[in-house]
Amino acid sequence: MKRVVVMLLLWLVYADVYAQADATQLYTRLRGKIDAIKDYVANVDMKIDVAFIRVPKLKGKLYFKAPDKMKLERNGGISILPKNSINMTVNNLLPGAAATVIDMGTEMLGTRKVRVLKVVPDTESDIILSKIWVDEERLLALKTETTTRDNGTIKMELEFGKYEAQSLPDRVTFYLDVKEFKLPKGVTMDYETQPANTKADKPQKGNKKGKIQIRYIDYVVNKGIADNVFADKKK
């Protein structure tokens, strides 16, 4: 009987170690696929929905260069997204390859069965913890929940289509805590506060959530982008 118990315990330990190793391999493959994108230029529509302010729908080009350079060139103007604000790519909302991966099992996300991973960076970074819902068959992150030091917890949902082979989404929706989030420079120049003495201008207790939606119309991928494209041009 004791031998059976010992064998059972050893099997459970082995199964747990194997599951964690398998989860680490899955994350390494996912991260590798994402890291294969060195740069892109995409035509985008962006909608920012934040309590107490009105932000016009933005259209333009989004430039990205790994690991963390990004610029939104709006139709009719230029915005630089500063380093201290959210970098709106999956690259920067997931820890790097040096991380501890915990297998949280599987869940249904819509009609798809997905693997849920918790990932903790092994080195100090703005990311404290990420939870990722992974489509193993297509090797895609369909949903993430990232806790950061500077911008609170950011939830992201991704929809894929034409560019899914490169892990590039057609649409991304961010859900964030407006209390913690820093609106990007350039976007803040566009918004208008609600007119004074209106019902909309009155404080809305408890409404501290915000949403950003980005629709990627098309991409030009890995063609090379010069660093000076991202330079902050002083006026």
pTM of the model: 0.78
pLDDT on residue 8: 47
pLDDT on residue 50: 75
Residue pLDDT, tens place only, 222-235: 999 999 988 866 54
Contact by Cβ (8 Å): 216, 61: no
Contact by Cβ (8 Å): 169, 142: no
**Residue 49 or 1, more confident:** 49
**Residue 209 or 64, more confident:** 64
Contact by Cβ (8 Å): 72, 43: no
Supply angle C-alpha 67, 181, 220, rounded to 5. 35
Domains and CATH numbers, the chain: 2-223 (2.50.20)
d(CA 29, CA 161): 20
The tokens for 179 are 């209390």
Contact by Cβ (8 Å): 52, 204: yes
Residue pLDDT, tens place only, 14-33: 334 434 559 999 999 999 99
Residue pLDDT, tens place only, 133-162: 999 999 999 999 999 887 788 899 999 999
pLDDT on residue 230: 85
